[in-house]
Amino acid sequence: MSGARLGFFTRLLDAGTDGERYRTALAQVRAAEQHGFASLWVAQHHFDRDEGGLPSPFPFLAAAAVQTERIALGTGIVTLPLDDPVRVSEDAAFVDALSDGRVQLGIGTGGTPGSFAAFDRSSEDRRRIQAAHVAVLRDAFAGRGIRDTDSRLNPAAPHLGGRLWQATFSVEGGRRAGADGDGLLLSRTQPREEGQSLHEVQVPIVEAYLAALPAGVPPRILASRTAVVVDAEDLDATWRSAEPGVRRLTRTFLKRNADGDLHDLARQTDTHLGTVEQVTASLTADKTLELATDVAFQVHSVDPAHAITLRSIELLATEVAPRVGLRTGAEAAEELRALGSQSLPR
């Protein structure tokens, strides 16, 4: 494969109260660092508890910062049109200082139109708002006056301008992220024609990104993927627990008939579930991963028991990663942190 860095992604959907969810996710983050994962990524979702358990990522990342030492702390994503960019810059700068420079700031326009009304905004305006808010972020991180004032970001965070990542489903979005010198965030699955593989729609996005990337700026391409790796004796039970989530994802996100064979639906939703050998084989067929610099694995929408997630984290790092060429350890984590100083000056 690509020699990409191994990452962990969570939407904080474990069973239990909200507090239990957060503590469980922090335990998973600690396990990921223990096993050499280079990065952690958390999703932001508003209002829908079944879609995601984290409306505000920075308090969680601050908690993770004081419980870890090396792992990068990433947002995947902050829905920037719904947030005040000054507060985003301040929160990100605070966590970056607390963690000794480990923040990776993923941003996007958001994919849930129903969330916008509560923020007194329209989903139809999200791209216009996003562009304006990104400009504020860049000024803040560059140390310029914010919104034409004399106010400067405190604490200062000059490297965060080089640690921005843009999420997209489109070739044009990939081109824009590349031209801006930012990182590229690719989803675990995305809508497409039936029979079309995920890499058939994502490789052109990566190619557009690379073609637009300015000379001298190293690529940063993160592919999120769903993977749950289990021991053989746990396989049948894990498939049974996966059924509600896989069928729901098929029905709601891909807008397809969810009544078919569960294993076929798992393939349609790009869910890599199985033993070490099975997950290794299915990941090897994913051509996007050959171009990625980072691959972050989540268990959603399988959403297994906490013990299975912890075992999957261990097996991904110790068994799957070496087989598919993903890199782990302190050197990989430090490499990701250092890339922030090599992006476009602004």
Domain segments of the chain: what residues?
5-234+271-338
CB 333 within 8 A of CB 70: yes
pLDDT band at 163 (very low <50, low <70, confident <90, very high): very high
CB-based contacts of 14, cutoff 8 Å, min separation 6: 20, 21, 24, 25, 53, 303, 306, 309
Chain segment 180-236, per-residue pLDDT in tens: 999 999 999 999 998 999 999 999 999 999 999 999 999 999 999 999 999 999 999
Chain segment 298-322, per-residue pLDDT in tens: 999 999 999 999 999 999 999 999 9
Report the half-sphere exposure of 139 (CA within 13 A, side-chain side). 17
225, 317, 301: which is closest to 50 by C-alpha? 301
pLDDT band at 49 (very low <50, low <70, confident <90, very high): confident
Fold of domain 5-234+271-338 = TIM Barrel (3.20.20)
The pLDDT value recorded for residue 282 is 97
pLDDT band at 345 (very low <50, low <70, confident <90, very high): low
What is the model's pTM? 0.96
The pLDDT value recorded for residue 214 is 96
Chain segment 140-151, per-residue pLDDT in tens: 999 999 999 999
Please state the φ and ψ torsions of residue 296, each to the nearest 5 degrees: -110, 125
Mean pLDDT confidence for 48-53: 86
246, 264, 254: which is closest to 192 by C-alpha? 254
Give the span between the Cα atoms of 327 and 6, in whole angstroms: 6
Which position has the token pair 């396990």? 31
Residues for the chain: how many in total? 346
The pLDDT value recorded for residue 176 is 98
